[in-house]
Amino acid sequence: MFRRAAQPAREISADAAALLVQSGMWLDFSAVLAQPDMFDAALAKRAADLHHIKIRACLSTRPRAVLEADPEGEHFFWLNSHFSGYDRRKHDAGIARYIPVNLGEIPDYYRRFIDPVDIVIIKTRPMDAAGNFNLGLANLWHRAIVERARMVIVETSAAVPLALGVDNHLHVSEVDFIIRGDDHPLAELPTTEATAVDRAVGQQIIGEIEDGSCLQIGIGGMPNAVCSLLVESAVHDLGVHTEMLTDGIIDLYRAGKLTGLHKSMDKGKVVYSFGLGSRKMYDAVDGNPDFLCCPVDYTNLPHMVMQNDGVVAINNTTQIDLQGQAASESDGFRHISGTGGQLQFVRGAYASKGGKSFICLSSTYDKRGERRSRIVLALTQGNIVTTPRSDMMYVVTEYGMVNLKGKSVPERAHALIGLAHPDFREDLERDAYENRLIPRGFF
């Protein structure tokens, strides 16, 4: 579907664009690096004049002026489909709410279930000679929003890299207003240094990655450790079909590990839906035909993922119970991140010919000075199951790796206890027997 604006697009100031907002409207601030900055600041200045403004967004990379101007959440309602650290703090303060989603389904939500958005504001590159505004490192579901939006505003920035891809642009005929942006450098995501535990987990996964495997890499120290170890390994001719482009993937690319020769889809291309990292990533992708930025329903839907053979999906979790349920997005009733693409890549990798899915976690964590086990008899009350037990394949901690596919509840419990920190195994085993997860005499 191609949207056509009612009138030719015209340039407008951020303050004038903010005056187009009326109380009761639904706005969309887009996602990640495509969130607007100048419009955000201009709208914040109108906070006292507006009420009941609902704003959808995803993974904020900078503080949002509208939230800073409305610390009690009296004027703006912030609805977010994946939390960054900033979004999490605003949720803790009671002024942000989570939208439960499988990220790859979001384009369909906009096209089928979500009422038309009153105004969508997207940060893009300045218009090129063909009249296109490149979306940069955030394709995601932006075209789907535009199809359903009553008004489309782009905030341009020369700092947005030229990301080649599939439908990764808006044509000027689809746009109502253009804000000339400030060209400030894009936000960067600090690299998480791999710990000894991260490398121990990564070392086990490396042994399961074969020449020609197609990688999906999640965010965090453990997936980054896998990338670092792959750079040093003899594994070659890897492919990438992922949701998020990370600095670790850029390191693999620069090391010559990513040829994509064995991919069935987009042979030779690094396929992703959004990128967030350091300046080295932004520079590496800028105008580079080896990288393909695609809509998230192209990258994440399991029936798309499975079309490449040998998919290896590597993701984190924060807690897993003895039946294999992974809770990766909350700490009790406190929401911390989101479902993202984890479940979809778990399923897509399993359906891929020879595919493998790895859920990684450290065996313990510290909370208020107390060491606790991430492997537990039962999930913390209020914790959200991200990956169900029936979908779980490989689980990895620094103490080992198990494949839960085909295992009974007693076998799962026994195997997962073996992945726990030794200090917690005796209590876990006793709890498993007392709660009849493991029958007496089974082992």
10 Å Cβ neighbour count for 110?
Answer: 23
Containing 10, the helix (H) or strand (E) segment is strand 10-11
User: E strands within 317-442?
Assistant: 319-321, 326-327, 330-331, 334-335, 356-360, 364-367, 370-373, 375-376, 394-397, 400-403
Determine whether 243 is an active site residue.
yes
Structure tokens at 356: 């493998």
Distance CA 146, CA 153 (A): 10
Residue identified by tokens 């009422």 is 115
Q: Which contiguous run of DSSP H or E holds residue 73?
A: none
DSSP string computed for 256-267:
T-B--TT-SSST
Helix, strand, coil percent content, the chain, rounded in steps of 5 = 30, 25, 45
Buried b (16+ CB within 10 A) or exposed e, 51-87: eebbbbbbbbbeebbbbebbeeeebbbbbbbbbbebb
What single letter denotes the amino acid at residue 297? Answer: D
CB pairs under 8 A, 24+ apart, for 38-42?
Answer: 38/14, 38/155, 38/179, 38/181, 38/182, 39/14, 39/121, 39/153, 39/155, 39/179, 40/64, 40/65, 40/66, 41/14, 41/65, 42/13, 42/14, 42/15, 42/17, 42/18
Catalytic residue among 72, 105, 147, 243: 243
Positions marked catalytic: 243
